Amino acid sequence: MMKQLCFLLLVFALLLYSSTAPAEKIQTVRTMEKQDTFNPYYSRTDTTKLNLSDAEWKKVLSPEVYATARQKKTELSFTGKFWDYTGQGTYYCAACGNALFRSDAKFASTCGWPSFFEEVRKGSVTYLPDRSYGMVRTEALCGRCGSHLGHLFDDGPPPTGKRFCMNSVVLDFVPDIQGTRKMQ
Ligand code: FE
């Protein structure tokens, strides 16, 4: 009789545990995603255009990426992680994962921001006239998500004569796999 009672108690305890465990698990995953600013829109293969509100971006981007990508903040020159970086690979939009530049198109610029002479493919970057701060400039935006990347100038090196002056904080870099030339 005692054995049966113990068995019943064990079954009851297991039932109780299994009914509460999944909820706890979900809560843990969500908490982790929140801490890591999980971004469900980020993809290096999906080229579907994104049209999200700033409120939605704020939920999924880190404060640093959000400040430049959505509020057009310019990082201080010579402070970004890529201004003098020379690794071989591909640069992607840090907000959405869109492929933007190949390292082959990066050049050593004295301006203190990562600079490229051409985008990785037509349409990967889009442009808007920018008349802020009393200057006439061309704003460069991500062709997939519309995030602010930096500006485009006409004082770059051959063959294009263009200078894509970017903010490191809105770039993700993926190195080439050794011996291969990999793009998106
Ligand atoms: Fe983007």
**pLDDT tens-place values along the chain, 184 residues long:** 556 655 555 555 554 444 444 443 333 333 333 445 799 999 999 999 999 999 999 999 999 999 999 999 999 999 999 999 999 999 999 999 999 999 999 999 889 999 999 999 999 999 999 999 999 999 999 999 999 999 999 999 999 999 999 999 999 999 998 655 555 4
109 Cα: distance to centroid of ligand 1 (angstroms): 24
Q: Which pLDDT score is estimated for 19?
A: 45
- The pTM for the full model equals 0.77
Specify whether 127 is located in the same domain as 169: yes
Q: Which pLDDT score is estimated for 177?
A: 84
Distance separating alpha carbons of residues 19 and 39, to the nearest angstrom: 30
Total domains in the fold of the chain: 2
CB atoms within 5 A of ion ligand 1 belong to 93, 95-96, 98, 142, 144-145, 147
Query: Six-digit token pair at 151?
Result: 């500006």
130 Cα: distance to centroid of ligand 1 (angstroms): 19
Active site members: 165
What is the per-residue burial (b if ≥16 Cβ within 10 Å, else e) of 64-91?
ebbbbbbebeebeeeebebbeeeeebbb
53 Cα: distance to centroid of ligand 1 (angstroms): 13
Nearest to 150 by CA among 135, 123, 168, 132: 168
Specify whether 114 is located in the same domain as 146: yes
Q: Tell me the CB-side half-sphere exposure of residue 88, using CA atoms within 13 A.
A: 7
175 Cα: distance to centroid of ligand 1 (angstroms): 19
Domain CATH code at residue 106: 2.170.150.20
135 Cα: distance to centroid of ligand 1 (angstroms): 25
Specify whether 21 is located in the same domain as 94: no
Distance separating alpha carbons of residues 7 and 18, to the nearest angstrom: 17
Q: Which pLDDT score is estimated for 179?
A: 56
Specify whether 84 is located in the same domain as 160: yes
Q: Residue 135 falls within a domain, yes or no? A: yes
- What's the domain range around 73? 54-175
